[in-house]
Amino acid sequence: MNTEKNILIIEDEKGIRNFINNALTANGYRTTLAENSKTGRSLFLSACPDLVLLDLGLPDGDGMDLLKEFREWSGTTPILIVSARDKEAEKVAALDFGADDYITKPFGMSELMARVRTALRHLDHSENSAAADTIIQVKDLTIDIAKHTVTRSGEEIHFTQNEFKCLALLGKYAGKVLTYDFIMKNIWGPYSPSDNQILRVNMANIRRKLKENPADPKYILTELGIGYRMLVDN
Ligand code: CA
């Protein structure tokens, strides 16, 4: 099933580029490699990749500019940012400019594959979204959008309206990080308060009701300085 998918890797560090390339080809993906912006730009247009892995620090230009160009040319091709640690503002900016997710260096093969699978799944999902959106299954949680219920192993857990909306939004994009700003605007609208206090309170309540262990969350991970991610793979 993976064999049809072509992934464009734009990364100037040879070691990382080779590592990503080996990991993807070992898992049955086809790859196209670029070591700078110029080659990345032309391969994006000529190779029509199904997904792009984009390093932001490139020798001949800012990866962020490339991201903006790619988004103008294609609104749907998933783009994963390959980013250094301690660059939270950069990650948030990239997500706001339409990146689908990011992966932080150094990363292992299983984390890379999980991010790639998630991004490709959301692409498939958005192509036939109408039917799939009514019931969301994440691990042992069933989120029923129409009935407004959440059950775990058949047992209902009660949430307030806003808690339910937060949980359903995270579930809809399970595996993908959602920024504070994205969640706030989705739930509380375009004029939502600029601080995230109301969101943090709702998330704390959701976690308490799910009986999450903060040290080892099973369902919802806090991405410090960025947002929240619903966990799917572990
Ligand atoms: Ca780099």
Separation of CA 74 and ligand 1 centre (Å)? 23
CA of 36 to the centre of ligand 1 (A): 9
Ligand 1 centroid distance, CA of 55 (Å): 6
Exposed e or buried b per residue across 52-74, where buried means at least 16 C-beta atoms within 10 angstroms of its C-beta: bbbbbbbeeeebbebbeebeeeb
The pLDDT of residue 121: 85
Q: Ligand 1 centre from 112 Cα, in Å? A: 17
Q: How far is the CA of 231 from the centre of ligand 1 (A)?
A: 28
How close is the Cα of 166 to the center of ligand 1, in Å? Answer: 35
Considering the entire predicted model, what is its pTM? 0.83
Query: How far is the centre of ligand 1, averaged over its atoms, from the C-alpha of 23 (Å)?
Result: 19
Q: Give me ligand 1 centre to Cα 101, in Å.
A: 17
Instruction: Please give the pLDDT value at position 128.
Output: 55
CA distance linking residue 64 with residue 97, whole number of Å = 8
What spacing in Å lies between the alpha carbon of 57 and ligand 1's midpoint?
4
Taking Cα atoms as reference points, which of 93, 131, 99 lies closest to residue 115? 99
10-residue stretch averages of pLDDT, the chain, 234 residues long:
82 96 96 97 95 96 94 93 87 93 93 93 65 81 94 95 96 93 92 89 97 92 93 75
CA distance 5 to 149: 36
User: In angstroms, what is the span from residue 75 Cα to ligand 1's centroid?
Assistant: 24
Question: For residue 127, what pLDDT is reported?
Answer: 56
**Contact present, 165 and 114 (Cβ < 8 Å):** no
C-alpha 33 – ligand 1 centre gap (Å)? 14
CA of 13 to the centre of ligand 1 (A): 6
Per the listing, tokens 């029509």 go with: 48
**Residues 157, 146 contacting (CB under 8 angstroms):** no
The alpha carbon of 194 and the centre of ligand 1 are apart by a number of angstroms equal to 33
Distance (Å) from CA 91 to ligand 1 centroid: 15
Question: Which pLDDT score, from 0 to 100, does residue 206 have?
Answer: 97
Please give the distance, rounded to the nearest whole angstrom, from the Cα atom of residue 114 to the centre of ligand 1.
22
Q: What is the pLDDT of residue 6?
A: 96
